Amino acid sequence: MSVLGFNRYGKAEVRVVHVSRGTGPDGGDQIKDWNVSSSLSGDLAATHLTGDNANVLATDTQKNTAYAFAKKLGGVEPEAFAIALAEHFVGTQEPITRARLSIEEYPWTSLPGGPHSFSRTGGVVRTTTVLHDEQLGTSVIGGLKELVVLNTTNSEFFGFPKDPYTTLSETKDRMLATQVSATWRFRGTEVEWADAYATATASLLDAFATTYSYSLQQTLYAMGERILADVPEICEVRLALPNKHHFLVDLEPFDLTNDNEVYYAADRPYGLIEGYVLADDAPDAGIAWT
């Protein structure tokens, strides 16, 4: 005999681009470029077990709602948009008891040549996830991904265990590079979202730049610790840091010395360092990461 377990459904990767006309610092336009995914759960057993769709809000409707809310709410921050959309789905669909909204935001920079011209800056992607449960309330997760950072020096790695399979040499001077994926949990929903994101990002970057690193694990903790110190609205930071290895090229066959100048970048295999950093008074995570 089988039993239906946890389930949810939704519309993935709805591309929404909103232009706020004439609201920029110099009277130009502003752009919000989003990838929006919604997922709903609740009393949905019948559709799985019998094909009865009476409680199933069509995923196409979820897509259309995202577009309509983009018009209604204007150029708000992604956290505010996700909260409003999640509350709408739970509040208007009686069978739906939980909504999960995820947003990726892609950055654009205005060009000095005109108020309506932009360039995609690429690189870092801002991320937002909101979970709204009619019983448990709302949890907000912010963050970023695809942020590539590098220190040309001020990094060491030594003192690690050696066994018969160890070939890695200890080093007191290495290049340290990683592609940061970071998520942070907010204590509540009364937050200046744009300021919190800007400060958290700046704090993360400053910690990476100013920490003399003896391991990427040490750098991870420094980054999370700095975010918690600088943004009190955040109570937990989760980081995933792949070690983007750079190895010195052997130039001796060409009668040349390599004084930490010429490297080759190896894309795989790579070390993957992951960890959570929590404030000592962080509330229980509840539904935040589900």
Enumerate the active-site residues: 11, 59, 245
DSSP one-letter code for 56: -
Cβ atoms within 10 Å, residue 204 = 24
Place of tokens 């700046």: 202
Residue 237: which region, alpha, beta or left (left: phi > 0; alpha: psi -120 to 50)?
Answer: beta
User: Quick one: which H or E segment has residue 126?
Assistant: strand 125-133
Residue 71 neighbours by CB under 8 Å, 6+ apart: 18
Please state the φ and ψ torsions of residue 184, each to the nearest 5 degrees.
Answer: -135, 140
Q: Identify whether the C-beta of residue 126 lies closer than 8 Å to the C-beta of residue 184.
A: no
Alpha helix ranges (H) inside the chain: 45-49, 59-73, 78-92, 193-210, 216-230
Q: Identify whether the C-beta of residue 132 lies closer than 8 Å to the C-beta of residue 99.
A: yes
Strands 125-133 and 118-120: unpaired
Strands 272-278 and 263-265: unpaired
DSSP string, 77-107: -HHHHHHHHHHHHHHH-TTEEEEEEEEEE--
